[in-house]
Structure 1
Amino acid sequence: MKHRQIEPTPDGHYVIIDGRKWRATNPNLPEDERKKWVSELMSARRAVGSALKSKDKDAEEAARNRVQIAKEALGERGPKWWENNSSKKISE
C-alpha cells in the first residue's frame, strides 16, 4: 500500500491528502467512539464494494447510507464540528 502524506490545515478543520482537502475527523470524539465509527466506516465501504461487484442496487444504497452515517458521526460530513450548531450527537 502506498504511504500517503497527510497534512492538517493550520486551523485543524481539514486535512490535505495527496493534494486534496478533506474534512478532518472531530478531535473531540472519545477514542473508543472514534474507533467504533472508523470500524463501521471501513465495513460499510467494503459493503459498497461488494454491492457494486454483485450489481445489487439495494445493497449498494444501504451500504452508502451506512457510510454517510459513519462519516457524519466522525464529523467528516454534516454540521461542522467546530461550529456551535454542531453540538448534536449522532447515535446509532
Structure 2
Amino acid sequence: MSPERTADGRWIVVRGRRWRAADPELPEQVRAELQRHLGRARAAVRTGRAADDPDAVRAARRRVALAKHGLGERGEPWWEQDPDTRERRWTEALEALEAPDAAAEGLR
C-alpha cells in the first residue's frame, strides 16, 4: 500500500507527518538503485550503533543523506529544479554511492 500523497504530489503523509516525496521523474531503474543504497545505508547505521562504532555510523549516515538527496527527498526541492539539474542530482548521487573509494570508506 502506497502512502497518502498531498494533492500537489510533493509530499507523502505517514502517520500524520508530512515527508518530501521522491522525484517522480526518476527513471525506475535509478529509483530502485538509490533505494537499494538507502536500505543498505540504513542497515549500516543500525549495525554501527549496535557495535558502538561512531565512525561507521557517521559513514553510513553520509550514505543515507546521499541516497535521499539523489531521490530528491533532501536538498533543493525537486519541483524547483529544471530537468537537467534533476538528472544531474540523481546521476551524481549514484556515481558517488558506487565509486570505488566508497567501498573503502564503508560507503557501499
Q: Same fold (TM over 0.5)?
A: yes
1:48 and 2:45 are equivalent in the alignment: yes
Segments ≥4 residues shifted beyond 3 Å: none
Paired residue for 1:62?
A: 59
Gaps of 5+ in 2: 96-108
Aligned equivalents of 1:60, 1:84: Cα separation in 2: 31
Task: Give identity over the alignment, percent.
Answer: 43
- Give the TM-score normalised by structure 2: 0.77
Residue 84 (structure 1) shift: 3.0
Paired residue for 1:27?
A: 24
Residue 18 (structure 1) shift: 1.1
The residue type paired with residue 74 of structure 1 is: L
1:41-91 superposed Cα distances (whole Å, 9 cap, x missing partner):
000000000000000000000000000000000000011000136825231
Question: Contact 1:7 / 1:17 at 8 angstroms: preserved in 2?
Answer: yes
| Backbone CA RMSD of aligned residues | 1.7
Judge which range, 77-86 or 64-73, deviates more. Answer: 77-86
Paired residue for 1:39?
A: 36
Larger proportion of helix = 2
1:80 and 2:77 are equivalent in the alignment: yes
Secondary structure of the residue that 2:77 maps to in structure 1?
coil
